[in-house]
Amino acid sequence: MPELPEVAYQKIYVDSTSLHQKIVKVDLGAEKIFQSPKKDFKEVLMNNEFVSTSQIGKYLLLEMKEHGFLVIHFGMTGKMDYFQHDEIHKHAQLTLNFENGGKLSFICPRKFGKLFLTDSIEDFRKEKNLGPHASDLNKVEFLELFKRKKGSIKTALMDQSFIAGLGNLYVDEVLYHSGIHPKSKAEKLSEDELEKMYKNMVNVLETVTKSKTEGTSLPETFLRPHRTEGDDCPKCSGKIKMIKIGGRSTYFCPACQEEK
């Protein structure tokens, strides 16, 4: 559930279910999820309520009426679940019972997710060393960032301190639509290529978020459903190839994304 578009979806989900509801019971799960003492989470959340939400990259920030923000990082498999029934999900790591009878759980099977408490969004951003939220960047800002970036373009786009929000799936997607080989050096990309990447980043994030919120499937020309070695490229007659970059499976079309 974890890159920028999925977190954007989780934000809408929380907004539409859980704002302005008084929390009357708090249940906590695995120790490792909690980045402050568990008793602090219980104390802060009890009798509190969420008043608004915001997002920086892959982090969802829930502003509380009192005591600052609850911050959620979803890891690879985290998601929120709002429900009315009695059974608690097997992998619920935090469950809030609201006064109106609704319940909100943070579900996280692999336990790679994290929960934080903070008083200030700006402090949190600095502490986590987060770059600008990807979908807030304008073209000029995007181009400016690349004046000081070296190394493979895939690694650069994955770097949360450079740009916050892109992950393995959508970095591949952006490079695919831009016709740029994932091993290309960031410092060697032309102005045209950078502009193309910016345009595609915006489009990929918007398109995926839209498909998430509207429950529709991705366009035929997207790489994502073809992340399999040897699959037909949805744009040309080539075959999809997989390589490892920074330990992550990287799918691309050697015909569309020529190595330079």
- Give the residues lining the site for DNA (CB under 7 A): 1-3, 6, 32, 57-58, 73, 75-77, 90-91, 109-112, 128, 149-152, 155, 158, 160, 167-169, 185, 227, 242, 244-249
26 versus 153: smaller Cβ distance to DNA: 153
> Smallest distance from the beta carbon of 178 to DNA, in angstroms?
18
> Smallest distance from the beta carbon of 152 to DNA, in angstroms?
4
225 versus 246: smaller Cβ distance to DNA: 246
37 versus 246: smaller Cβ distance to DNA: 246
- Between CA 233 and CA 116 the distance in angstroms is 41
21 versus 168: smaller Cβ distance to DNA: 168
> Smallest distance from the beta carbon of 118 to DNA, in angstroms?
14
128 versus 196: smaller Cβ distance to DNA: 128
98 versus 222: smaller Cβ distance to DNA: 222
Q: Which amino acid is at 224?
A: R
CA of residue 38 relative to chain centroid, distance: 25
> Smallest distance from the beta carbon of 160 to DNA, in angstroms?
5
> Smallest distance from the beta carbon of 231 to DNA, in angstroms?
13
180 in helix, strand or coil?
Answer: coil
Closest CA relative to residue 257, chosen from 225, 228, 223: 223
What is the 3-class SS of the chain, one letter each residue? CCCHHHHHHHHHHHHHHHECCCEEEEEECCHHHECCCHHHHHHHHCCCCEEEEEEECCEEEEEECCCCEEEEECCCCCEEEEECCCCCCCCEEEEEEECCCCEEEEECCCCCCEEEEECCHHHHHHHCCCCCEHHHCCHHHHHHHHHHCCCEHHHHHHCCCCCECCCHHHHHHHHHHHCCCCCCEHHHCCHHHHHHHHHHHHHHHHHHHHHHHHCCCCCCCCCHHHCCCCCECCCCCCECEEEEECCEEEEECCCCCCCC
> Smallest distance from the beta carbon of 40 to DNA, in angstroms?
20
> Smallest distance from the beta carbon of 169 to DNA, in angstroms?
4
98 versus 142: smaller Cβ distance to DNA: 142
